[in-house]
């Protein structure tokens, strides 16, 4: 932290900027000061656990670019391909923009990864949703919500960054800015698509549960419709009356069996017709 405060002091950063940088849960933002552009974005360093996002900060001054990323090295990995003299030869503005571009480019694989997960859930919902479907769905839903928030706020604030608003961005960079915005819009659109896909998946899942319940009830009704009337017939001939017809006759039970088969067939047909109605 000593190095951190030293740099801050040397560049005479506003205390409010420093406060924002130290709040690791800060929302993305772009703030334009007279001689500074201050940008906070959120990235998702761990592709296995998208529920955790990290803050990265960039400060563009007249003669410098400051980056601050607590606890990992996203910018370092972006800058790694550049040799030292290449870095030195770049203007602060172009360095700043290419770092922004790196942040935005990191959103695309994110969207793709979420899309793949959503597709898998969709297939499961259409086929055989398991017991823990709800739990996994809710997790994915919350992760997507976090990503959307991170990207949409950044997208919105990034609009402020135009050559008109700050002299630190030259007019000739306009098309690079446009390109970054395009990618941001692309990532945002893809997350939105995922969002509406997820909502329709919840609908599919609920339909599947309802459908399955409907089938079980159908099964129950089928079994009951067939056997309850038959049991009634056996009940009749189980009564101990002295002279029930057929009881004493030699093939009486065959007559009754025939009757039962007729009743079962009739119930079957009645049930099937009822279903079709």
**Number of residues counted as binding its own copies (CB under 8 A):** 86
**Residue 235 contacts its own copies per CB under 8 A:** yes
Q: Does 214 bind its own copies (CB under 8 A)?
A: yes
Judged by CB under 8 A, which of 207, 261, 262, 269 binds its own copies? Answer: 207
> Which stretch in 42-50, 51-59, 71-79, 240-248 sits in contact with its own copies by CB under 8 A?
240-248
Q: Is 170 an interacting residue with respect to its own copies (CB under 8 A)? A: no
In sequence order, what are the residues at sequence separation of 6 or more whose Cβ sits closer than 8 angstroms to the Cβ of residue 185? 155
Contacts of 107 (CB under 8 A, 6+ apart): 147, 151, 183, 184, 187
79 contact partners, CB below 8 Å, separation of at least 6: 87, 99
Q: Which two tokens stand for residue 133?
A: 């479907």
Span 34-73, contacts to its own copies by CB under 8 A: none
Q: Is 208 in the site for its own copies (CB under 8 A)?
A: yes
Minimum CB separation of residue 73 from its own copies in Å reads: 26
Containing 65, the helix (H) or strand (E) segment is: strand 65-68
Q: Is 18 in the site for its own copies (CB under 8 A)?
A: no
Least distance in Å: CB of 235 to its own copies? 3
Which of 7, 33, 69, 162 touches its own copies by CB under 8 A?
Answer: 33
CB atoms within 10 A of CB 155: 17
238 binds its own copies (CB under 8 A): yes
- Which residues in the 127-166 window bind its own copies by CB under 8 A? 128, 134-135, 138, 141-142, 145, 149, 153
Q: Is 244 in the site for its own copies (CB under 8 A)?
A: yes
Tokens 């599947």 sit on residue:
208
Whichever of 3 and 132 has its CB closer to its own copies, that residue is 132
- 86 touching its own copies, by CB under 8 A: no
Burial string for 72-109 (b: 16+ CB within 10 Å, else e) reads eebbeebbeeeeeeeeeeeebbebbbbbbbbbbebbee
Q: How far apart are CA 191 and CA 74, in angstroms?
A: 22
* Coil vs helix vs strand at 17: helix
Q: Judged by CB, which is closer to its own copies: 73, or 217?
A: 217
Does 217 interact with its own copies (rule: CB under 8 A)?
A: yes
- In the 8-state DSSP scheme, what is residue 156? H
Are 132 and 3 within 8 A, CB to CB?
no
What's the min distance (Å) between Cβ of 253 and its own copies?
4
The nearest distance, CB 252 to its own copies, in angstroms, is: 5
What 3-state class would DSSP assign to 205? helix
For residue 90, give the DSSP letter.
S
If one asks whether residue 89 binds its own copies (CB under 8 A), the answer comes out as: no
**Smallest gap from residue 72 Cβ to its own copies (A):** 23
263 binds its own copies, rule: CB under 8 A: no
């Amino acid at each position: 932290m000593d190095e951190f405060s030293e740099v801050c002091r040397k560049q005479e950063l506003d205390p409010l900027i420093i406060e924002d940088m130290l709040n690791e849960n800060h929302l993305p933002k772009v703030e334009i000061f007279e001689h500074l552009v201050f940008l906070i974005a959120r990235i998702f360093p761990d592709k296995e656990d998208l529920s955790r996002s990290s803050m990265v900060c960039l400060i563009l001054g007249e003669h410098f670019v400051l980056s601050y990323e607590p606890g990992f090295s996203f910018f370092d990995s972006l800058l790694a391909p550049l040799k030292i003299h290449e870095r030195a030869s770049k203007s602060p503005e172009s360095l700043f923009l290419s770092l922004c571009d790196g942040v935005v480019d990191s959103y695309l694989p994110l969207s793709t990864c979420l899309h793949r997960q959503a597709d898998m859930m969709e297939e499961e919902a259409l086929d055989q949703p398991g017991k823990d479907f709800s739990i996994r769905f809710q997790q994915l839903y919350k992760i997507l919500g976090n990503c959307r928030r991170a990207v949409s706020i950044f997208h919105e604030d990034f609009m402020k960054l135009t050559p008109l608003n700050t002299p630190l961005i030259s007019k000739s960079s306009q098309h690079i800015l446009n390109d970054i915005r395009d990618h941001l819009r692309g990532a945002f659109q893809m997350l939105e698509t995922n969002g509406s896909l997820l909502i329709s998946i919840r609908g599919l899942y609920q339909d599947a549960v309802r459908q399955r319940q409907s089938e079980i009830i159908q099964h129950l009704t089928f079994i009951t419709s067939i056997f309850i009337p038959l049991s009634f017939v056996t009940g009749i001939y189980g009564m101990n009356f002295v002279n029930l017809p057929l009881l004493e006759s030699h093939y009486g039970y065959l007559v009754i069996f025939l009757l039962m088969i007729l009743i079962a067939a009739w119930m079957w047909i009645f049930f099937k017709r009822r279903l079709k109605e």
